[in-house]
């Protein structure tokens, strides 16, 4: 306590990681702008209003499971007056930025791990626990989002500690695995399936071998772990023992792929509708790509059809396009996608979903035009910059390519979406 450094059994200095995680993030965001929902159950639905992806504590207490299809939970929801929202990613993204900005005000060295989680390196701070309490308080005060913080000598242990901080209110939202005794005690009561890196599949396998708790896993021999969980699992196990193997990623690496895909609200047969959807996705993907300041060299197009007869739910038709020259132009992407689509589309087929991936990305700054490249890239760049800046200022889709704007038969259902309280002038929250 007090030095800011922990030592392991060999007397080596160990790093200190903290993980801040927003409690029931999406549900908390919705509640923020609707105080009448305080202490009331809330659920948030996935795209397409398909299933439940976030629940307030009250909704969890009602026994509504995570990932439950909406229609299955409908009776519980109606009987208990549960507030239901379609997901509103604009709102969540904006609230996330506010939370992260608050954290960065305390700790400059952070890794934003997901929309509602951030890892911090507290190795050089004398009182990690006190500091975490201050951060937690500031985030609550300045953003209204409740958060929990877990502290440990590896990222995996910080994750475990975070679970404890959330579960046991007596710790007031901050829990530190600060000794060997505490580490063992905690891991012995921690289900192996809840460990970061152990998914459904591995959980099943491990429990079948009698490895039920995180502690059980942590004492397995390396060779066995390597064999049954690959090198990834070995890292997890070492981290559970308190040895840090997964470093903080302070600077986000360049993205390796960009995906835009969507399920349709229903089966879609019209060629023009699917083409319109793909054009939309190409547009979105190109925007993301330019936002990342990268170019793409490969486009992967997938159409998902439903094969009722085969028992298999989804069957996929793909096309992989390798581009002669890397690009970030919406126009080029759209024309490639459109041509490839014509080749894989089957007349009369009912499609349930489609999407595109951009692969083999490379930084735009590294691009050198060669003699055989006859594209007018400068002119396209100017056009794209103009479109992006207008769309940024005036809202998405202010300017859109004609092929991507249509009747929108493919558009997903979003019946219960809340307003964009923080990002759109016309939907600002009204105080009064």
**By CB under 7 A, which span of 184-192, 229-237, 329-337, 399-407 interacts with DNA?**
229-237
Q: Which of 27, 258, 286, 420 binds DNA (CB under 7 A)?
A: 258
* DSSP 8-state class, residue 213: B
Calculate ∠ Cα 115-164-13, nearest 5°.
Answer: 85
Nearer to DNA, 254 or 424 (CB): 254
**In terms of Cα–Cα distance, which of 253, 123, 240, 131 is closest to 180?**
240
| Two structure tokens written together for 409 | 């038969």
Which positions from 52 through 111 interact with DNA, judged by CB under 7 A? 53, 67-69
* Integer Cα distance of 102 and 31 in angstroms: 20
Our finding on whether 113 is near DNA (CB under 7 A) is yes
CB neighbourhood size of 338 (10 A)? 15
Which positions from 308 through 337 interact with DNA, judged by CB under 7 A? 313, 320
**By CB under 7 A, which span of 56-64, 123-131, 140-148, 189-197 interacts with DNA?**
189-197
Q: Where are the alpha helices (DSSP H) in 13-69?
A: 25-32, 57-61
**By CB under 7 A, which span of 55-63, 201-209, 335-343, 380-388 interacts with DNA?**
201-209
Integer angstrom CA distances of residue 222 from 92, 156, 211, 235 = 41, 17, 14, 10
Size of the site for DNA (CB under 7 A): 43
**By CB under 7 A, which span of 48-56, 122-130, 166-174, 417-425 interacts with DNA?**
48-56
* Integer Cα distance of 234 and 197 in angstroms: 10
Our finding on whether 246 is near DNA (CB under 7 A) is no
Our finding on whether 140 is near DNA (CB under 7 A) is no
Q: Which of 14, 246, 248, 412 binds DNA (CB under 7 A)?
A: 412
CB neighbourhood size of 415 (10 A)? 8
Our finding on whether 117 is near DNA (CB under 7 A) is yes
**In terms of Cα–Cα distance, which of 167, 160, 155, 151 is closest to 184?**
160
Our finding on whether 419 is near DNA (CB under 7 A) is no
Q: How far is the CB of 316 from DNA (least distance, A)?
A: 8
Site residues, DNA (CB under 7 A): 46-48, 50-51, 53, 67-69, 113-117, 159, 195-203, 230-232, 253, 255-263, 288, 313, 320, 353, 355, 412
């Amino acid at each position: 306590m007090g030095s800011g450094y922990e030592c392991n059994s060999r007397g080596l200095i160990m790093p200190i990681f903290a993980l801040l995680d927003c409690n029931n993030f999406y549900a908390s965001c919705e509640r923020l702008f609707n105080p009448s929902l305080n202490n009331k159950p809330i659920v948030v639905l996935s795209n397409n209003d398909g299933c439940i992806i976030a629940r307030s504590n009250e909704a969890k207490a009602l026994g509504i499971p995570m990932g439950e299809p909406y229609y299955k939970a409908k009776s519980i929801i109606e009987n208990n007056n549960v507030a239901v929202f379609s997901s509103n990613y604009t709102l969540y993204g904006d609230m996330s930025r506010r939370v992260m900005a608050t954290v960065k005000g305390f700790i400059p060295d952070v890794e934003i791990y997901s929309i509602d989680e951030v890892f911090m390196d507290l190795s050089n701070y004398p009182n990690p626990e006190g500091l975490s309490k201050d951060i937690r308080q500031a985030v609550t005060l300045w953003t209204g989002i409740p958060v929990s913080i877990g502290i440990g000598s590896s990222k995996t242990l910080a994750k475990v500690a975070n679970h404890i901080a959330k579960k046991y209110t007596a710790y007031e939202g901050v829990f530190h695995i600060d000794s060997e005794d505490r580490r063992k005690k905690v891991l012995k009561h921690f289900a192996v399936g809840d460990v970061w890196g152990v998914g459904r599949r591995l959980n099943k396998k491990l429990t079948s071998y009698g490895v039920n708790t995180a502690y059980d896993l942590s004492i397995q021999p390396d060779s066995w772990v390597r064999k049954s969980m690959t090198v990834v699992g070995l890292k997890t196990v070492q981290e559970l023992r308190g040895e840090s193997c997964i470093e903080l990623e302070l600077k986000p690496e360049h993205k390796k792929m960009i995906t835009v895909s969507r399920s349709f609200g229903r089966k879609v047969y019209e060629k023009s509708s699917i083409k319109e959807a793909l054009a939309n996705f190409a547009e979105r993907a190109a925007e993301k790509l330019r936002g990342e300041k990268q170019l793409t060299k490969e486009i992967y197009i997938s159409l998902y059809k439903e094969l009722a007869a085969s028992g298999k739910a989804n069957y996929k038709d793909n096309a992989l396009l390798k581009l002669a020259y890397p690009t970030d132009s919406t126009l080029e992407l759209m024309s490639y996608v459109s041509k490839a689509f014509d080749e894989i589309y089957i007349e009369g087929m009912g499609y349930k979903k489609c999407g595109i991936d951009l692969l083999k990305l490379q930084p735009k700054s590294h691009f050198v035009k060669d003699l055989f490249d006859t594209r007018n890239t400068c002119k396209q760049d100017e056009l794209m910059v103009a479109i992006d800046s207008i769309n940024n200022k005036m809202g998405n889709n202010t300017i859109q390519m004609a092929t991507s704007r249509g009747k929108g038969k493919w558009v997903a259902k979003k019946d219960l979406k809340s307003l964009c309280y923080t990002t759109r002038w016309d939907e600002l929250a009204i105080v009064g």
